[in-house]
Structure 1
Amino acid sequence: MSVTGHSARGSLQVSRTDRGSMPGEDAEILEVNEKHGPLYNAIPCMPVGVAVVLCILNIVIPGLGTFFSAWTCLCGCKTKLGKPAKAFCLNLLSALLQMITFVFIVGWVWSIIWGMNFVQIATQTEREPTKIPYYVRRQSSVVE
Structure 2
Amino acid sequence: MSNLSYQHFSEEDMAKQHEVDENVQVATNKTPRQVQVQVVNRRSENSLRNAIPILPTAIAVLLCIVNFFLPGIGTILAAFSVFCCADIEGADRSRCSTFGINFGVGCAQIITTPLLLLGWVWSIMWGVAFIAVARESSRRLTTTSSTQQRHADVIQQQIPQAVA
Give TM-score, length-normalised by structure 1: 0.73
- Compare the two structures and name the one with the higher helix fraction: 2
Matched, 1:112 2:124: yes
* CA positional deviation for 1:84: 1.0
- Shift in alpha-carbon separation, 1:18–1:127, aligned structure 2, 3 A: closer
Q: Report sequence identity in percent.
A: 30
Q: Which moved more, 1:30-39 or 1:122-131?
A: 30-39
Q: Which residue of 1 aligns with 2:51?
A: 42
- CA separation in 2, counterparts of 1:88 and 1:24? 47
Matched, 1:93 2:101: no
SS of match in other structure, 2:104:
helix
* CA positional deviation for 1:99: 0.8
Identify which of 63, 66, 85 aligns with 1:57. 66
SS of match in other structure, 2:113:
helix
* CA positional deviation for 1:101: 1.1
1:1-144 alignment to 2 at 5 Å? 7=1, 11-15=2-6, 17=8, 19-20=10-11, 25=31, 27-36=35-44, 37-79=46-88, 80-103=91-114, 104-132=116-144
Q: Which moved more, 1:15-24 or 1:123-132?
A: 15-24
* CA positional deviation for 1:16: 5.8
* CA positional deviation for 1:18: 5.8
SS of match in other structure, 1:74:
coil
Q: Which structure: larger Rg?
A: 2
- Shift in alpha-carbon separation, 1:129–1:82, aligned structure 2, 3 A: farther
Quick check: 1:16–1:31 contact (8 Å CA) kept in 2?
yes
C-alpha RMSD over aligned residues: 2.5
* CA positional deviation for 1:47: 1.1
* CA positional deviation for 1:33: 2.7
* CA positional deviation for 1:131: 2.1
SS of match in other structure, 1:15:
strand
- CA separation in 1, counterparts of 2:30 and 2:51? 45
- CA separation in 2, counterparts of 1:117 and 1:24? 37
* CA positional deviation for 1:17: 2.8
List, as ranges, runs of 4+ consecutive aligned residues in structure 1 with deviation greater than 6 Å: none
- CA separation in 2, counterparts of 1:41 and 1:14? 17
2:128 counterpart letter in structure 1: M
Structure 1 runs not aligned, ≥5 long: 1-6, 135-144
